[in-house]
Structure 1
Amino acid sequence: MTTSTDVLATDPRAAHLAALDWVSGLAAAVPEDRMAGPTPCDEFDVRTLLAHLVTTVRRPAAIAAGTDPLAAPLVSEDVLDAPADAYVAEAAALHGAWSGPDAVELLDRTVRMPFGEVPVRVALWVYVNETLVHGWDLAVATGQPVEADPALATTALEVARRFLPAEPRGGPVPFGPVVTPAPGAGPTEQLANWAGRRR
């Protein structure tokens, strides 16, 4: 299992694609009558959460294409009519973008992220975490199973604890205080709790 001490030396592509696949399954199962419902991510209802998740696909797609990931807006408003379908389609397309012969070489290049410039492999681990946390948001909001693959979520939690300290939170750090996990919480829920999420 990957640990936080060696994560910078690893290839995050398989973890990222696994996270995308998990959320694609959740997105595909969201009924239309739940789209206006609330989510644990206070600023989004289900529809806008899905449209934000589309952005979290478009940004790594831009990295793979060698363009600026931050050109994609926080919420992909162009897909608001059918955000779940858009997520499933664009997440599937991303598999091809990261499997080409030049993709490995991309991992050690530098890319601009909201918090500064980092190697692409670090950026992808950030997107793994964001995908899983928002997947948990979506699962809770729509009454679906909240746990991704345990090994994947455990690794993501280790990464999150390294790159997102427990303090400070709020202000320039766009995460709430760490939430104590409920007894028996799985690693995906623990990851969401680390990001300040609660049911």
Structure 2
Amino acid sequence: MTTDTADDPRPTFARALDQAGRQVAAVGPDELGNRTPCADYDVRALLGHVVAVLHKLARVGVGEDARGIPDVIGGIADDGWASAFTRARSEVDRVWADDERLDRMVQLPWATLPGRTALDVYTHEFTVHSWDLAHATRRLAGLDPDLAEQALDAFSKLAPPEDRSERGPFSAVVTASDDADVYTRLAAYLGRRP
């Protein structure tokens, strides 16, 4: 079975992972303790989170339960994050190369969705976390604005302000200036304070 490229989330997902991978690779050991705009995460914890998400996506892609994988993976050497991300990403790429996985239902820790929808949602998560890392390490230049536009559009449907609570992953919308770039508007929409 061949997937219609117009309905295939993998190319955009790959762009989001490429961007995240560049941010991960740029982090130096002296930046691991920097605070990020993502609540409760310093750079080390956020790196542990993005690697954990990749492990979860690989596991659900083959029909296994991902709930046993922690939200933040630890135990990675200070200079080992880029290789940990690359290895986990290679596994995700291998698992999700199969077109049939796109239409299978996958059990995520927070929902059961078709594979293509799950990849689309995680495209936007990796886009936001790329900005989180870029903000925390002062490497904002070069982020893909098209990914942020898509994420802002998706999150306006997935996480409307009226559906948020204090215990959810997104805080109340923060006001952004009218001339703010798209990543600043995205961060503000998700409750981060850019």
Q: TM-score range by the shorter chain?
A: 0.7 to 0.9
2:177 aligned residue: 182
- Aligned pairs for 1:15-94 (under 5 A) are 15-79=12-76, 81=78, 82-94=80-92
2:160 corresponds to which residue? Answer: 165
CA distance in 2, matches of 1:117, 1:80: 34
What is the CA–CA distance in structure 2 between the aligned matches of 1:85 and 1:14, rounded to whole Å? 22
**Residue pair 1:16, 1:124 contacting (<8 A) in 2 also:** yes
Tell me the CA shift for residue 176 of structure 1: 0.3
Q: Could you list the runs of 5+ residues in structure 1 that have no partner in the other structure?
A: 1-8
Question: What are the superposed Cα offsets for residues 5-47 of structure 1, whole Å, 9 maximum, x if unpaired?
Answer: xxxx832111111111101111111111111111111201111
**Partner letter of residue 156 of structure 1?**
A
Check if 1:136 corresponds to 2:136. no
Aligned 8 A contact 2:37 2:135 in 1: yes
Post-superposition Cα deviations, 1:93-144, rounded to whole Å, max 9, x if no partner, equal: 4333322xxx221112212223321212221122111111111110000010
CA distance in 2, matches of 1:191, 1:158: 9
* Partner Cα distance (1:185, 1:86) in 2: 34
Which amino acid in the other structure matches residue 157 of structure 1? L
Q: 1:114 to 1:11 in 2, by over 3 A?
A: same
- Equivalent position to 1:107, from 102, 108, 133: 102
Report the counterpart of residue 198 of structure 1 in structure 2: 193
Aligned to 2:145: 150
TM-score, structure 1 length as denominator? 0.84
Between 1:120-129 and 1:19-28, the stretch displaced more is 120-129
Q: Which runs of 5+ in 2 are unaligned?
A: 1-5
Change (3 A) 1:184 1:56: farther
The answer as to whether partners of 1:61 and 1:94 remain within 8 angstroms in 2 is: yes
Match of 1:13 in 2: 10
Hey, what does 2:95 align to over in structure 1? Answer: 97
> What secondary structure sits across from 1:118 in the alignment?
strand
Q: Is residue 147–residue 186 contact of structure 1 (8 Å, CA) maintained in 2?
A: no
Residue aligned with 2:67, SS: helix
**Counterpart amino acid of residue 131 in structure 2:** W
* Amino acid in the other structure paired with 2:84: A
